[in-house]
Structures are given as C-alpha cells and as structure tokens.
Structure 1
Amino acid sequence: MVSRRILLGALAGMAAPALAFAEGDGPAKPSVLTKKGRRTRSALSHQASDKAALDRAMASVKPMEAEPAHAPAAAHAPAQEVSPEEALGRLKHGNAIFARGGANLMLPTLARVAELSKGQKPFAVVIGCADSRTAPELIFDCNLGELFVVRVAGSTVGREGLGSIVYAVEHLGAPLIVVLGHTKCGAVGAAVDVAKKHSELHGALHEMVLPIIPAVLEADETHPADLQDAAIRRNVRDIAGRLKTADGVLAERIEEGRLKVVSACYDLATGVVSFDA
C-alpha cells in the first residue's frame, strides 16, 4: 500500500524520496508472525514425506507483513537525506492538515514500533512548551520516530536541553530545529507579571520565568499594548537566534547549509502555526 505521506507530499509538490525517508518507509522487517511462519515451515520440512506435501504446507503459511516476492530491488535502496527546506516544508504541510481537521490520529503499527527499536532518524527537532495543548506530534501531523521533541514551560533551553538538541543534530542527523511558542502561554504571562507588576514567584517557578524576562523587556519597548503576545514571539525568536551560535556543531552545520533554525508560534484558537521563515 502506498504511504499516506508520499501521496500527500506528491500533492504538495514535495520530494517523495525525502518524505519516504522521514516517514521511515523502507524495506519491510520480518514480523514476529513472519518468523513464526518460517519456524513452521522449518518444522514441516522435517515432517513432510514428499515434496508435494511440503509444497502444500508451505503454501498455507502466509506472513502478514512480508513484502511481495516481486518487489523491485530499488525498494531496498537507502532513502535520501532530508534537506532543511524539505523538513520545514513537511512541518508546514502537516500543520495545514491538522488546522483543517484532517490530521492522522492512527497509532503506529507494531511493525513500526519494532523497527524504531533499532534506531531513530527524526527529520526535525522541536523545542516546545510543556503546555498540554501543544503536542508537536499532533499539530504537525507526525507519528512516532519523526520528531525529536524537547519541551519545557515557556519553550526555553537550558544546558540539558541544549545537549539534547546537539545530540539530535550531531548523532541523529536532524536537519531542522524549530523553536515553537504558542498564544496565551502561561509561563510568558508569569514573566510579564514579574517584570511589570513585580509579582513574586517561589523557588523553581521563579527560575522557570527568569530566562523569559529579557524577551518581555524587549517586547515592552515595541508592543506595550499587547505585551504578552509580543513577548511570546520575541522569546522564541531570541532562543532561535542564540541557538545558532550556542554550540560549534550547530554553527558548523548551519554554515554548511545542513541545518536550519527557525522560530514559530502556534495559535491555540485556530490550530495554525506561523513560522518566521
């Protein structure tokens, strides 16, 4: 059966090989049922008294997830690497599907789960807010193994988060980083209250909003009337800008054209993600 993402990508004018790579389409792995079928055939080969009986027994064993015997050799060729532009286009396309109510909510098959147990190849890193309404896999119409997600309230990045990002880029080959904020962000709203109303937060909550306060002060100079919304957008833009030089691996891949870092904002009311690129 043709992959849903290859069909959608073709309709959107995107490269099918890149989409197949990002989706994880490739040579099918033998399922448990297939292996069981082989064990059954092995047992029958010892029990059958003649070739005709053996042939009849083997014909009755039909693995559920095996590829057709006539599948072309090209189907087993390694998929091409996804470029930063292709990865960004895929996220935009997936969000367009989600925003119009056509998102795919099907769970991955057991075969896909087993395949991912051997390794991962996410096509994008998404730095998002911990808000329960902003799950990147849903709003970008993605599935297991496609996105490498780092989430904390306010979409901020500490040292541990930076290490996760560098790992995804350097060791998993992710060509795109998206810093994703969202409207009505409570963490940014708290930072606005601290900066403008001198509200007091205790312990870890205070530490959570501290990295956001510079964005609040910057936004206050240009958009004081709608400070929270302006600070949300300024915050993710500032983080994306800092990430470009935060680590030598990231800076080198950006210079080589192998990595792109962008900011974006998700609208809770419409489901639409607005990208700054």
Structure 2
Amino acid sequence: MTDVRPTPQQAWDEMRSGNDRFVSGAPHHPAQDVERRHELTTGQRPIAALFGCADSRLAAEIIFDKGLGDLFVIRNAGQVLSESVVGSIEYAVAILEVPLLVVLGHDACGAVRASIDSTRQDAPELPPHIWRLIAPIVPAVQRVMRADPDATPLNVDSELVGREHLRDTIDELMHSSDIVSRAVDEGRLAVVGANYRLEEGRADAHIIIGPVSDTEA
C-alpha cells in the first residue's frame, strides 16, 4: 500500500475514469484479489470518501470501478447529513487524509419522492424515524415549488429538487465542519457534488468546491 497521496484533481480523475469504464461496460474490477485483501490488513489509504444515498442501485465501488480499500463510503437514504455522517466524513478527512469527498445523489430518489409527497395537504403521517430522515429535504421541495407558480407535489420536478438538496447538503457540511472547510481552504481537499443517472450509469459533477476541474485534460 503506497503512502503517496493523490492530489484532489488526481483523485477525481481516477473516479471519473472508473465511471467512464462502468458506463462503457468495460470495468477493470481492480483491487479485488487475495493479495489486495491481505495488503489491507495493515491499514487503509482510500483515495476518496463518498457520501451517497443508500439506494441499492448506488453501489459506489461498482459505479466508479474501484476495489477494496479505494473508497471510504458513508450512505443513508437521501444522503441526509447527521452527526454520525459528519463525524465519519471528518474521520476520513482528518485521519485517513482523503483528498476528495464525493457527495452522490441520483435521479428517481425514493427519499426525495417521499419528501415531495409529504408536502401534500392529504399526505399520510409518516413513521417518526422516516419523517426525521426526510425532513431536511423538504426545504428544497418548498424552494423549487416557490420558484414555479404552477408546481404542485404531483408535478414538481423531482430531479431539480434532488439537485437543490445536493447543494443544501454540501452547504450545510461546509458550514458545520471546520475540519472539512479548513481542508478545502488549504487545498488539501476538494468536494464534488455529483448526480448519478440510473439508466446511463453516469455520475455527473454539478458542484465543485476546491482545487478540482471537471474538464478533460
């Protein structure tokens, strides 16, 4: 296991290249053999942390064609920040020294759909744990609906809501974590907010904070 850390740009280039291979149907399936498994018994040096939705279709290592020890992954329904999520991200940044954090949303997100449905006047009461999970997404729903006078819970653009929620999540993380914001300010970390397209398999960057460009070299 190498001690040489990639730059934020190198880490994002690796992630993007892996996603390109996945999209094209030619993944390499790296770092999944017995030797890699044995190597990792002495520690881990992931190239990136990824905070994404728990949706079964968002398996991070498959989407980005990575293997054991490559990604430090945190997931919950709707990629909603919590104390445990922020603490896990801070561990990845401060202790594991990852140069990249990817926050990954996706289209057709069930948590986003539930947050939209919860704003209907006739919405049924949700179980309390589910409501507490999706409640942070509701401001994005309300903001999108205010911007379109014709929008209702039945026709609002759920993908736009998802992108707004992605931005809210990153903004909240940057404001709530001195560790993350300082690492970005010092150029040691970049944060990429990406949206995954289920049909295409593509993870497109929508938000970039820090020393990363998404243009081809």
TM range (shorter): 0.7 to 0.9
Aligned partner of 1:261: which letter?
V
Q: Does 1:87 align with 2:17?
A: no
**In the alignment, is the contact (CA less than 8 A) between 1:108 and 1:144 conserved in 2?**
yes
Counterpart Cα distance in 2 of 1:208 and 1:251: 24
Q: Does 1:264 align with 2:188?
A: no
**In the alignment, is the contact (CA less than 8 A) between 2:74 and 2:88 conserved in 1?**
yes
Q: What is the CA-CA distance between 1:227 and the residue it aligns to?
A: 2.3
Aligned partner of 1:271: which letter?
G
Match of 2:160 in 1: 230
Q: Does 1:177 align with 2:107?
A: no
Q: What is the CA-CA distance between 1:117 and the residue it aligns to?
A: 1.3
Q: What is the CA-CA distance between 1:197 and the residue it aligns to?
A: 4.5
**In the alignment, is the contact (CA less than 8 A) between 1:216 and 1:227 conserved in 2?**
no
Residue in structure 2 matching 1:139, options 38, 63, 66: 63
Residue correspondence of structure 1 range 1-277 to structure 2 within 5 A: 24=1, 26=2, 79-105=3-29, 108-199=32-123, 200-222=125-147, 224=151, 226-276=156-206, 277=208
Q: What is the CA-CA distance between 1:245 and the residue it aligns to?
A: 2.5
**In the alignment, is the contact (CA less than 8 A) between 2:23 and 2:202 conserved in 1?**
yes
**In the alignment, is the contact (CA less than 8 A) between 1:244 and 1:261 conserved in 2?**
no
Aligned partner of 1:165: which letter?
I
Q: Deviations over 1:83-125 (max 9, x none)?
A: 1111111111111111111113467222211111110011111
Q: What is the CA-CA distance between 1:80 and the residue it aligns to?
A: 2.6
Aligned partner of 1:168: which letter?
A
Query: Aligned Cα RMSD in Å?
Result: 1.6
The secondary structure found in structure 2 opposite 1:155 is coil
Counterpart Cα distance in 1 of 2:122 and 2:31: 46
- Runs of 5+ unmatched residues, structure 1: 1-23, 27-78
Q: Deviations over 1:61-84 (max 9, x none)?
A: xxxxxxxxxxxxxxxxxx532111
Q: What is the CA-CA distance between 1:162 and the residue it aligns to?
A: 0.6
Counterpart Cα distance in 1 of 2:11 and 2:140: 28
Please, what TM-score do these two structures have when normalized by structure 1? 0.69
Aligned partner of 1:141: which letter?
D
Q: 1:149 to 1:106 in 2, by over 3 A?
A: same
**In the alignment, is the contact (CA less than 8 A) between 2:102 and 2:192 conserved in 1?**
yes
Q: 1:151 to 1:198 in 2, by over 3 A?
A: farther
Q: Deviations over 1:158-217 (max 9, x none)?
A: 001110000010000011111100110001000000124452211211111111111111
Counterpart Cα distance in 1 of 2:122 and 2:46: 42
Counterpart Cα distance in 2 of 1:226 and 1:216: 8
Please, what TM-score do these two structures have when normalized by structure 2? 0.87
Q: 1:126 to 1:100 in 2, by over 3 A?
A: same
Counterpart Cα distance in 2 of 1:194 and 1:166: 32
Counterpart Cα distance in 1 of 2:114 and 2:168: 18
Greater C-alpha radius of gyration = 1
Q: What is the CA-CA distance between 1:140 and the residue it aligns to?
A: 0.5
Of structures 1 and 2, the one scoring higher in RCO (CA 8 A, sep 6+) is 2
Counterpart Cα distance in 1 of 2:56 and 2:64: 15
Aligned partner of 1:217: which letter?
Q
